[in-house]
Structure 1
Amino acid sequence: MALVEMVQEVFAPGGVLARADTHFQPREGQTQMAMAVAHTIEAGGALVVEAGTGVGKTFSYLVPALLSGERVLLSTATKALQDQLFARDLPRLAQTLGLPVRMALLKGRASYLCLYRMELARQDVSAREPGVARVLAKVESWSHGTRSGDLAELTGLDERSPVIPLVTSTRENCLGSQCPRFRECHVHLARREALAADIVVINHHLFFADVAVRESGMAELLPSVRVVVFDEAHQINETGVQFLGLTLSTGQLMDFGRGLLAAGLQHARGLADWTGLASQVDLSARDLRLAAGDMRGSAKLRWTDETPESVRPDEWQAALRRVALACAQAQEALDTVSEIAPDFVRLYERGTELLARLAHFSGPGNPDAVRWVDVGPQLRLTESPLDIAEAMRTRLLATPAEPVGDDGWPGEPAAGPGRAWVFTSATLGDDEQLSWFTERAGLQDAQILRVASSFDYGAQAALYVPRHLPSPADPSHSMALARWVGEAAAQLGGRTLVLTTTLKALRTIGDALKAQFAGSAALEVLVQGEWPKRRLMERFREGSEHGQQGCVLVASATFWEGFDVPGDALQLVVIDKLPFPPPGDPLVEARTQRIEKSGGKAFKSYALPEAAVALKQGAGRLIRRESDQGILVVGDTRLITMGYGKRLLAALPPMRRLESEPEFEAALQALTRASTTAPPFP
C-alpha cells in the first residue's frame, strides 16, 4: 500500500487514531497536510506548509514520517518542543501505530553536563560564593544518577544560573577525544545514540551550527537521513544568519583568558607568567569595549566604513591591535607547553581562531554581508549574511541523500527519490505563496500548502482597537495604554497578557501596572526579566487557581510565540503597537537597502510582511483550543486609520470586530461571567 493511502487510513473516521483515542476527531486540514507530507516523502523535494493553530500539524508530519520507515530528522525552534516531541508525542504515536522505532534526542552541548568542566568548576573563584557553591553541589549530586546528562532533568535550575557555563562545554573549550572524561562524555554519547536512531529530534540552532562549523555531529548524521522536517520553521532564517555569519565578542576573549589562567596554574605553574598573560587578554578586551563608547543599556552601531559609527578610528584600531598582541603573546606561551596537557592544545587552537577573527574584523567587510557592533556589558562584533537563501540552495537543498563525499557531505546523487524537506509553522507569511518565508529560505520552487485553523474565531474571539489612545509616536502612549489595560485587567481578574514591541515599552507599562496594583490582593503583575522565563510561564498558567491572585503578564520578544496558555488563564491579549521591524537595526537597514537598490519598495515588500507575520504570531497566543474565548486588543490606531492596515487585518484570524468602547465592555463582561467550558460569548 502506498504511503499516502496508509496515512489516509490512519486519520480516517474509525481509523487507528480514532480507535486509540475516543476524543480524536478527524479534521480535514490535518488529513490534507498529512497526505501532502506523505506525498513529499515518497517523491522527494520540498514542501512548505502553513498550518493554522488547532490543525494538529505535529501529528500531520509525525504519522507519515513514522509510517515511511525512513530515517527522519525533526528540527524545532525551542528545547521545550524538542522535549515534548521526544518524551510525549513520538512515543505515544509510535505505540499507537505499533511501530518499533529507535528515537534519539540531540541538543547543543550547552544543554549537557560536562564532567571534566564540573571538576574544574570546583577550582573557579566564583564557586566559593555561597549561592554558586550550593547549586554546584546540587549539580554534582545529580550527576551521579543521570544517564543523559541533560540539564533539563535538573528541576529548579535557573536557566540564568552562573553555574551553567561552569559545568558545560563550548565548541571553543571542549577537548574532544583528548578529554580525560571522554568515554563518559554526555555529548559524545548523545551523538552516538543519534547516529543509531531512526528518528532524531534536534533544534534549529544545532542544525545551523553544523552547517556553519561542522561541529555538532550532524555532518555524519544528515547524509544518512532521507526526511528532514522543520517545525516552527518561521525561525530558521533568523537562526541561520546567526551561525552563517562571523562573530567576535569580548566575552569570548575573556573566557579565553580565564581558560589560559586555569590551565596554566593547574598543569604548568612557573613555566610562564600565566597571571600576567591572562590579565593582558582581559584588559585588552575591556579596552576594546571602552573604545566603543560609554553607553548605558545596549545599542547596535552601524559598521559600513573602516570603523563602527561614532567610534574614533585611531582608538578602535589601537584597541584591536592590543587584543591581537595579547592573544599572540598567549599563543607563544602555549606553544612551549602544548605537549604537557590537551588543555593547552585546545587553548592554542582557540587563540588561533580568535586571531583569525581579529584579522577579519580589522579589514574591509564582505560586500554581500552586513557588519555591526552590539554594545552592552559586552561587545560583540558581527558580520552576517542578509538571509539563508544562498546557503539553503547551494549547501542543503541541492544535496542528495547519499553517499558521503570526502568533505563529509553528500556527493553524487543516490538512486531513488531525493531527500524530502518539510517546513511547517502556524505563521509563514501573509500571501498565497508565503513569500515572506520562501524567498529568504531559498524555497521559491517548493510546493506550497496553506491549511486554515479549525477554530471558529468569529464565535471564540473578538478584535478591538481603542480609538482614544494617543498615537504610537506620542511619548505618552505607553502610560495611557497601561492605565487602560489596568482597568480591563481588574474587571477580568487578571488573565491578561501584554505583548510589547520594545524593551522601553516593556519597562514603562510594567512599572505603571505594578504601581497601579501595588498592595492589591486581587492582581499580581508579572514582568519579563524579573523571574526566569519558565517560572513566569508556570505562574501565569496557574492564574487564580488555589486561591492565588489573578495575573497580568507584561512581556516582549520570545513571549510573542511558543507561549501556550489554553483555558481561562488567558482571555485578553494586548499588543501595544504594530510590530514593524526596528528601523535602526543594521540588519534591517541592509535588507531595506538591498530591496531599494533593486528597484523594489522596502516598506511594501519587507516591513509590512514582517509586521503582518509578527502580529499574527502575537495574536496566536489568544485561542489555543476549541473551547477558548478571548479578546485581542491592538493599541495602535494605525491598524484602522492607515491604508496598509487592511493588509495587516487580513493577516489576523477572522475574529469579529468590536467597534466601540461599550462593545468592548460588553464582551469583557461576558468573559467574566463565562468559562471556557461554556458556550462562546455573544
Structure 2
Amino acid sequence: MNLEEAVREAFAQGGVLSRAADQFQPRAGQTEMAMAVARVIGEGGALVVEAGTGVGKTFSYLVPALLSGERVLMSTATKTLQDQLYGRDLPRLVEALALPVRTALLKGRGSYLCVHRLEMARHDATLPDRTALRSLAKIEEWSRSTQTGDLAELPGLDERSPLVPLVTSTRENCLGAQCPKFRSCHVNQARKEALAADVVVVNHHLFFADLAVRESGMAELLPSVRVAIFDEAHQLNETGVQFLGRVLGTGQLLDLARDLLATGLQLARGLVDWQALAGGVERASRDLRLVAGKHPVGARQRWTAGAPEGFDAVRWQEALFALADALHAAIEGLHTVTELAPDFERLLSRAEDLAAKAGQFAGPAQAGCVRWVDVGLQLRLVESPLDIAQAVREKLLKADSEPGSQRAWVFTSATLGDDEKLSWFTEPCGLQDARILAVESPFDYATQAALYVPREMPRPNDPGHSAAVARLAAQGAQALRGRTMVLTTTLRALRAIGEDLQRRFEGSPDVDVLVQGQWPKRRLIERFREGDAGGRGCLLVASASFWEGVDVPGDALQLVVIDKLPFPPPGDPLVEARAQRLEKEGRSAFNDYFVPEAAVALKQGAGRLIRRESDRGLLVLCDNRLVSMGYGRRLLAALPPMRRLADAVAWEEALDSLAGLTRTSTTAAPWP
C-alpha cells in the first residue's frame, strides 16, 4: 500500500482516525488536504494550503507525515500551540496509528531553566524584593524534580517575570561546553532528544532565530529532515523579518551591565573596577533612551537619515559614540580576566557583538532594508529586510533544486490571502512556484452566522466612533448576558471602548467587562471561556494578539464586534517601505498591499466567531467603508459566507432570536 492509499484509508469511515478523535466524521476537505500533503511528501517540493476553520488541518498534515515514515520537522506559531501539538495531538495519533515513532519538543533557550544561571541568581544582590526571592525559591524547588527544565511546567510563573532572564540563558550569555553544568544542561538535553527523534516540534521564532545565526540546533537538524511542515504559516513573514535583520536594544545593554557587575564581583572582585565599567554601559544606554524624549510609548520612528525622525541628530550621534566608548571600555576590562572563568569569555563576546552593532547603526542602513526605532520603556534600534522571500529561496529552497533532492515543504493556515494564488502569503515568502490548495470551511455559515454593518455608525475617524461601537456592543452583551468580544484595531480605541463599557456595566449583576492589559492574556481567555458559569457573563475588549489564535467554541462567544477595517498603519516604517517598493514596481500599494492585509486580518478576526458545527453567532463590522467603498466588495468576499442583516431592525431581531435559542441543542438550526 502506498502513502496516498494509506492516508485515504485512515480518513475513511471506520478508519483508524475514528479511534483517535471523538465523534470523528470523514470530511471531504480534510481528506483532500491530507491527500495533497501525501503527494508532496512523495514527490518533494512546496505546498501551500489555506484550510478554512473546521477543516481539521492538524490531522490533515499529521497523518500523512506520520505514515510516511520520514523524519519530520513541524513548526507552529506560538509556544502554546507547540505544547498543544506535542502534548495532545501527536500522542493521540501515534497511539491510534500504532507507529513506533519517537517525538521531541524543542524550544528556544529562554524556555528552559539554566542551572548555572540559577546558581548565579542565588547570589545576585540586585534581586528587586522579597516577592522575587520567594519566586526564586519556588524555581529552585522545582528545579530539583523537573526532567525537561521547560518553564512552562512551572505553575504560576508569568513569562514576563523579571526572574525569567535571570534563570535562563541566551545565545550571548550561554557558556557552552565550558559551562560547569554543561552535562546537566536542559537546552542540550532537548537538542539531543530532537536529533534522535523522528518527529520534532519547534516554533517559528526558534526556526528563524536559528536560520539567522545557525546556533540553536537546526543547523544539524534541518539537513536530516525530509519533511518540514509550518502550521499557522500566516505568521511566517512577520516572524522571519524580526530575526533576519539587526536589533540593538537598551534592554540588551542593561542586561550586559547587570551581568558584568554581578559576574565581576562574584568571580574577580578587586581585579577590575566593575562598578565603573557596568555604570558606564548603563549610563550610555539610558542616555541613548533619553534622546527619544517624549515620543509616545509604542511609537515606531522612521530612520532614513543620520538620526530617527523627531530625534536631535547631534545628540543621537553623540549618544551612539558614547555607547561605543562605554562598550569598548568594558571590552578592555574583560580582556584582562577572560582566563579566570568562561563567564568572562561570554561577556566579552556579548560586549564585542553589541559594540559592532552600535558601530553599524552609526552608519547607513544596508541596501534593501528599512531602519527604525521602537520607542518603549526601552529603546530598540531595528534594521529589517522587507520580507523573507530571499532567505526562503536561498537558505531553504535552493538546496532542494539540486538533482536528487526530494525534500517536502508544507505551509498551512486558515488565512493566507484573498486571491487564487494566495499572493498575500506566497509573494513575501518567496513561494510563488509552490503548489496551491484552498480548502473551504465545512461550516454552514449562512445558517450558523449573520453579518451586520450598521450604516448609521459614525466614520471610523470621527470623535464619536468609539462611543457608538461601545453602545452597540453593550446592546448585544446586555441581550446575550455577555458572550461578546470586541476587537479593536488600535490601543487608543481599546482604551476608549473598554473604559466606556466598564462604566456602562459598573455594578451590573449580569456582565463582567474584561479589558486586555488589565489581566494576563491567559487569565482573560480562561475567564471568558467560563462564560456565565459563575452567574455573570463576559464582555471582552481586546486588540492585537486576540484577533487570532483565540479559540472559544460553544455558547461562551456568540457576538464579535470589530471596530473598523484593519488596514496596516500607513505611518509604520516597515509598512511605508513595502508600499514604496510596490509603487516603484509600477503596482498599486493600496490594491496589492493594504487591501490584502486588511482582508487577511478581517478573516482572522471574524474567525473567532464560529469554531464548530453547533456554534451560532453574529459578526458586527462598525465601518461603513465596507459597503460604501469599491474595495469593500473585495473585503466582504474574503469573509465567510454569512447571511447579511440589512438594517437595525434585522439586527435587533437576530439578536433577540439568538438570545432566545435553546443552548442545549447539539446541531445548528436556522435562526432568523
TM-score range, shorter chain: over 0.9
What does residue 588 of structure 2 align with? 601
What does residue 642 of structure 2 align with? 655
What does residue 382 of structure 2 align with? 382
Q: Within 5 Å, which residues of 2 pair with 1:180-195? A: 180-195=180-195
Query: What CA distance in whole angstroms lies between the structure 2 residues aligned with 1:420 and 1:171?
Result: 30
Structure 1 pair 210/19, CA: closer, same or farther in 2 (3 Å)? closer
The amino acid that maps onto 1:445 is D
What does residue 92 of structure 1 align with? 92
Gaps of 5+ in 2: none
Shift of 1:19: 5.4
What does residue 105 of structure 1 align with? 105
Gaps of 5+ in 1: 401-411
Q: SS at 2:438's partner residue? A: strand
What does residue 518 of structure 1 align with? 506
Structure 1 pair 675/227, CA: closer, same or farther in 2 (3 Å)? farther
Q: SS at 1:524's partner residue? A: strand
> Is 1:483 equivalent to 2:501 in the alignment?
no
Q: SS at 2:127's partner residue? A: helix
Query: What CA distance in whole angstroms lies between the structure 2 residues aligned with 1:289 and 1:62?
Result: 47
What does residue 6 of structure 2 align with? 6
> Is 1:554 equivalent to 2:541 in the alignment?
yes
Q: Within 5 Å, which residues of 2 pair with 1:14-33? A: 14-18=14-18, 23-33=23-33
Query: What CA distance in whole angstroms lies between the structure 1 residues aligned with 2:471 and 2:125?
Result: 47
Query: What CA distance in whole angstroms lies between the structure 2 residues aligned with 1:539 and 1:130?
Result: 29
The amino acid that maps onto 1:157 is L
550, 558, 561: which one pairs with 1:571?
558
Structure 1 pair 122/128, CA: closer, same or farther in 2 (3 Å)? farther
Q: Deviations over 1:524-566 (max 9, x none)?
A: 1111111111111101000111x34110111111110000000
Shift of 1:144: 1.0
Q: Within 5 Å, which residues of 2 pair with 1:662-681? A: 662-678=649-665, 679-680=668-669, 681=671
Q: SS at 2:336's partner residue? A: helix
The amino acid that maps onto 2:329 is Q
Q: Within 5 Å, which residues of 2 pair with 1:150-189? A: 150-189=150-189
Q: Deviations over 1:219-261 (max 9, x none)?
A: 0000000000000000000000000000001111111111110
Query: What CA distance in whole angstroms lies between the structure 1 residues aligned with 2:514 and 2:126?
Result: 30
Query: Does the CA contact (< 8 Å) of 1:629 and 1:676 recur in 2?
Result: no
Query: What CA distance in whole angstroms lies between the structure 1 residues aligned with 2:139 and 2:526?
Result: 23
Q: SS at 1:498's partner residue? A: strand
Query: What CA distance in whole angstroms lies between the structure 2 residues aligned with 1:117 and 1:665?
Result: 59
Q: Within 5 Å, which residues of 2 pair with 1:198-277? A: 198-277=198-277
The amino acid that maps onto 2:448 is Q
Shift of 1:160: 2.0
What does residue 426 of structure 1 align with? 414
Q: Deviations over 1:321-360 (max 9, x none)?
A: 1000000000000000000011100000001101110111
Query: Does the CA contact (< 8 Å) of 1:581 and 1:610 recur in 2?
Result: yes
The amino acid that maps onto 1:100 is P
Shift of 1:413: 4.7
What does residue 50 of structure 1 align with? 50
What does residue 573 of structure 2 align with? 586
Query: What CA distance in whole angstroms lies between the structure 2 residues aligned with 1:131 and 1:549?
Result: 33
Shift of 1:138: 1.2
Query: Does the CA contact (< 8 Å) of 1:628 and 1:676 recur in 2?
Result: no
Residues 478-487 or 234-243, more deviating: 478-487
Q: Within 5 Å, which residues of 2 pair with 1:316-331? A: 316-331=316-331
Q: Deviations over 1:114-162 (max 9, x none)?
A: 1111112223345351221121111111111110111111112222222
What does residue 425 of structure 2 align with? 437
> Is 1:645 equivalent to 2:632 in the alignment?
yes
Number of residue-to-residue matches in the alignment: 669
Residues 331-340 or 469-478, more deviating: 469-478
Query: What CA distance in whole angstroms lies between the structure 2 residues aligned with 1:624 and 1:187?
Result: 36
Query: What CA distance in whole angstroms lies between the structure 1 residues aligned with 2:288 and 2:304?
Result: 18
Query: What CA distance in whole angstroms lies between the structure 1 residues aligned with 2:252 and 2:297?
Result: 20
Query: What CA distance in whole angstroms lies between the structure 2 residues aligned with 1:343 and 1:506?
Result: 45
Q: Within 5 Å, which residues of 2 pair with 1:466-545? A: 466-545=454-533
Structure 1 pair 356/76, CA: closer, same or farther in 2 (3 Å)? same
Query: What CA distance in whole angstroms lies between the structure 2 residues aligned with 1:133 and 1:517?
Result: 39
Q: Deviations over 1:47-69 (max 9, x none)?
A: 00000000000000000000000
Query: What CA distance in whole angstroms lies between the structure 2 residues aligned with 1:281 and 1:206?
Result: 29
Shift of 1:647: 0.1
> Is 1:139 equivalent to 2:139 in the alignment?
yes
Query: What CA distance in whole angstroms lies between the structure 2 residues aligned with 1:478 and 1:20?
Result: 46
What does residue 314 of structure 1 align with? 314
> Is 1:67 equivalent to 2:67 in the alignment?
yes
Structure 1 pair 399/303, CA: closer, same or farther in 2 (3 Å)? same
TM-score of the aligned structures, taking structure 1 as reference length: 0.97
Q: Deviations over 1:251-295 (max 9, x none)?
A: 111111111101110111011110011011000001111112222
User: RMSD in angstroms over aligned alpha carbons?
Assistant: 1.2
Structure 1 pair 272/584, CA: closer, same or farther in 2 (3 Å)? same
Query: What CA distance in whole angstroms lies between the structure 2 residues aligned with 1:195 and 1:170?
Result: 21
Structure 1 pair 176/465, CA: closer, same or farther in 2 (3 Å)? same
Query: What CA distance in whole angstroms lies between the structure 2 residues aligned with 1:49 and 1:676?
Result: 34
Query: What CA distance in whole angstroms lies between the structure 1 residues aligned with 2:664 and 2:362?
Result: 63
Query: What CA distance in whole angstroms lies between the structure 1 residues aligned with 2:186 and 2:403?
Result: 33
Query: What CA distance in whole angstroms lies between the structure 2 residues aligned with 1:490 and 1:382?
Result: 45
Q: Deviations over 1:602-651 (max 9, x none)?
A: 00000000000000000000000000000001111111111110000000
Query: What CA distance in whole angstroms lies between the structure 2 residues aligned with 1:640 and 1:466?
Result: 10
Query: What CA distance in whole angstroms lies between the structure 1 residues aligned with 2:126 and 2:457?
Result: 49
Q: Within 5 Å, which residues of 2 pair with 1:26-41? A: 26-41=26-41
The amino acid that maps onto 2:316 is W
Query: Does the CA contact (< 8 Å) of 2:20 and 2:92 recur in 1?
Result: no
Q: SS at 1:632's partner residue? A: strand
The amino acid that maps onto 1:660 is D
The amino acid that maps onto 1:629 is R
Query: What CA distance in whole angstroms lies between the structure 2 residues aligned with 1:652 and 1:128?
Result: 49
The amino acid that maps onto 1:627 is S
Shift of 1:75: 0.2
Q: Within 5 Å, which residues of 2 pair with 1:616-655? A: 616-655=603-642
Q: Deviations over 1:647-681 (max 9, x none)?
A: 00000000000111111111111221224542433
Query: What CA distance in whole angstroms lies between the structure 2 residues aligned with 1:337 and 1:433?
Result: 58
Shift of 1:182: 1.1
Query: What CA distance in whole angstroms lies between the structure 2 residues aligned with 1:245 and 1:359?
Result: 15
Query: What CA distance in whole angstroms lies between the structure 1 residues aligned with 2:426 and 2:227?
Result: 19
Query: What CA distance in whole angstroms lies between the structure 2 residues aligned with 1:22 and 1:616?
Result: 28
The amino acid that maps onto 1:35 is M
Query: What CA distance in whole angstroms lies between the structure 2 residues aligned with 1:125 and 1:517?
Result: 46
Query: What CA distance in whole angstroms lies between the structure 1 residues aligned with 2:617 and 2:416?
Result: 24
What does residue 406 of structure 1 align with? none
Shift of 1:181: 1.1
Query: Does the CA contact (< 8 Å) of 1:627 and 1:677 recur in 2?
Result: no
Q: SS at 2:382's partner residue? A: strand
Residues 592-601 or 154-163, more deviating: 154-163
Shift of 1:35: 0.4
TM-score of the aligned structures, taking structure 2 as reference length: 0.98
What does residue 371 of structure 2 align with? 371
The amino acid that maps onto 1:396 is L
Residues 578-587 or 665-674, more deviating: 665-674
Query: Does the CA contact (< 8 Å) of 1:126 and 1:132 recur in 2?
Result: no
Query: What CA distance in whole angstroms lies between the structure 2 residues aligned with 1:22 and 1:291?
Result: 59
The amino acid that maps onto 1:541 is R
Q: SS at 1:654's partner residue? A: coil
Structure 1 pair 396/122, CA: closer, same or farther in 2 (3 Å)? same
The amino acid that maps onto 1:182 is F
Q: SS at 1:568's partner residue? A: helix
